[in-house]
Chains A and B, each alone.
Chain A
Amino acid sequence: MTDRPVAPDARFFWAGAAEDRLLVQRCASCSTLRHPPAPMCGRCGSLEWNTLDASGRGRIYTWIRSLHPNRPDEEPRIVVLVELEEGVRIVSNLVDVPHDGPFDDLPVTVEFRDDRGARTPFFRLVDDGAQP
């Protein structure tokens, strides 16, 4: 999927992303969803798990404008903490941002793009970011 280092417990996530699938880890015993991925269910202790294909729909729970992310010469990005409709939260960036914000609570949908050699889930505002 990519040569970039990835934690063993997160391999399934990035393998899914390579196929444009947003996978959420689900306990095979008690069905509790968890993200970020982890080897054991913190609720029931099971080591067995499978994955749920998330819809990719959610809302922006919180956000910031990140100046020069990673490198001083990079363009600013909007970092979002998305609460997926399945109930877990995930950090990502907005793409094709149509206005300067604020972005709190706005609905978003996932959009996979290549980022430095890895297929990566980003999010796009629904309806061009109209305030609800």
Chain B
Amino acid sequence: MTGTIVAGIGATEFSKDSGRSEMQLAAEASRAAIVDAGLAPGDVDGMVTFTMDGNDEQELMRNVGIGPVTWWSRAPGGGTGACASVQQAVAAVASGLANAVLVYRAFNERSGYRFGQPHANAGPPPLDWYRNFGVDTPAKMYALWFRRYMHAFGATNEDFGRYAVSARRYAATNPNAWFYERPITLDDHQASRWIVEPVLRLYDCCQESDGGVALVVTRADRAADVEAPVAIRAVADARHADASITANYYYDDLATYPEAARCAQLLFARSGLTTADIDVAQIYENFSPLVFLVLEAFGFCGPGEAVPFVAEGNLDLDGALPTNTHGGLLGEAYIHGINSIQEGVRQVRGTAVNQVPDVEHALVSSLNSGLVLGRL
């Protein structure tokens, strides 16, 4: 146990054009999370976000009336910042350096700029190791990694499509999801255009979204004052020197995901739990193949076995490991993975739209970082 809880969650709607500033999205989500926690903005004394977030802490404090703040930090990397931000909040609270820490992420990553597209360049790109050769979008950066998995285990794009169908099925019954009431079939998936052949089709890719999500982490001994407290059973973040944020090309075996495996090992050691104790999982998927690598890294199935694991329906509500029950980043929205933490909280509270019965423990995985939520 970490001695900490998620006391509140808050979010804006998820859209393709919010019509307001990123700061407003951050303020709306943050205020909603603080209210949900049963706190006043003045009770919040710590703030954490991603290094990539564009919302200045001081400005957000002024908008929401937060503080005084005596501790803040940011988590490096992209989507791995989701659970890694929570780890920093947990560290601050557990060490006594803060009492209540706001974790937030908000952007107009569809209407303001296109997160998934190459940056326009006026001339030839600098002489780097990737962009120079046309590896200039997240889809291409990751697909080069995922292709090795396909080759090692004979996985096909159709195999990945079965995950996409599952995510869109969950999204179809989630009114907060962008793809609410718009499920897809495997044929739809296979008919969608190639984004990066032979790895990713359109329906393998997460969305670009506008929106904000926030949550509040505080001490477990304050749970009595919180309407729906959720225990943070464990949190972990693992990085290895032979990788980089968007180019994991230098591991011994690219058909594996060593950081996620190390994260899993830490989470299970710190919580005293095993894979059998996990009732529901939210797994960050900027692209559908990542779910397969993470399932194997966590030991929910063996190397190469995620393909049949997914095909057999284990990610469904009545399966062995209901996964991305909000529709995931493919189906709900891409708020850099922090919306998946929100879904984990809802599953433990019992308030998810696609609720798994009797959830004791929910896993949230965001690339190299992860956390286990549970009942108090």
**Partner-B contacts on A (CB < 8 A):** 2, 4-7, 10, 14, 36, 42, 61-67, 69-70, 74, 77, 79, 81, 89-93, 101-102, 104-105, 115-118, 120
Q: Does the CB pair A90–B129 fall under 8 Å? A: yes
Of A77, A93, A104, the contact of B151 (CB 8 Å cutoff) = A104
Q: Does the CB pair B151–A67 fall under 8 Å? A: no
Show 22 residue pairs from A and B whose CB-CB distance is below 8 angstroms, ordered by the A residue.
A4-B125, A4-B126, A6-B127, A7-B126, A7-B127, A10-B127, A62-B151, A64-B143, A64-B197, A66-B133, A66-B135, A67-B195, A69-B134, A79-B144, A81-B254, A91-B135, A91-B247, A91-B249, A101-B198, A104-B147, A118-B127, A120-B132
- Give the docked Cα–Cα distance between A120 and B199 (Å): 26
Of A6, A7, A14, A64, the contact of B140 (CB 8 Å cutoff) = A64
Residue of A nearest to B241 (CB): A42
Is B118 among interface residues, defined by CB-CB distance under 8 A? yes
Q: How large is the interface on B (under 10, 10 to 19, 20 to 34, 35 or more residues)?
A: 20 to 34
Q: Does the CB pair A81–B196 fall under 8 Å? A: no
Contacts of B254 in A (CB 8 A): 61-62, 81
Contacts of A6 in B (CB 8 A): 126-127
The B interface is mostly helix, strand or loop, or mixed, namely loop
- Give the docked Cα–Cα distance between A63 and B129 (Å): 15
Q: Does the CB pair A65–B148 fall under 8 Å? A: no
Q: Does the CB pair B199–A64 fall under 8 Å? A: yes
Contacts of A91 in B (CB 8 A): 129-130, 133, 135, 144, 247, 249
- Give the docked Cα–Cα distance between A19 and B199 (Å): 36
- Give the docked Cα–Cα distance between A74 and B123 (Å): 14
| Those of B109-155 within 8 Å (CB) of chain A | 118, 121, 123-136, 140, 143-145, 147-148, 151
Q: Does the CB pair A77–B147 fall under 8 Å? A: no
Residue of B nearest to A118 (CB): B127
Distance from A114 Cβ to chain B, minimum over Cβ atoms (Å): 11
Distance from B192 Cβ to chain A, minimum over Cβ atoms (Å): 14
Q: Does the CB pair A89–B250 fall under 8 Å? A: yes
Q: Does the CB pair B134–A62 fall under 8 Å? A: no
Of B125, B133, B147, the contact of A62 (CB 8 Å cutoff) = B147
**Which of A6, A70, A117 has the most C-beta atoms of chain B within 10 angstroms of its own C-beta?**
A70
Contacts of A7 in B (CB 8 A): 126-128
Known: A64-B196, A64-B199, A70-B121. A92 touches B250 (CB 8 A): no
Residue of A nearest to B137 (CB): A66
Q: Does the CB pair A79–B126 fall under 8 Å? A: no
Q: Does the CB pair A62–B145 fall under 8 Å? A: yes
Of A65, A79, A105, A115, the contact of B198 (CB 8 Å cutoff) = A65
- Give the docked Cα–Cα distance between A104 and B121 (Å): 31
Q: Does the CB pair A64–B144 fall under 8 Å? A: yes
Residue of B nearest to A14 (CB): B127
- Give the docked Cα–Cα distance between A89 and B247 (Å): 12
Q: Does the CB pair B144–A2 fall under 8 Å? A: no
- Give the docked Cα–Cα distance between A99 and B136 (Å): 24
Q: Does the CB pair A63–B144 fall under 8 Å? A: yes
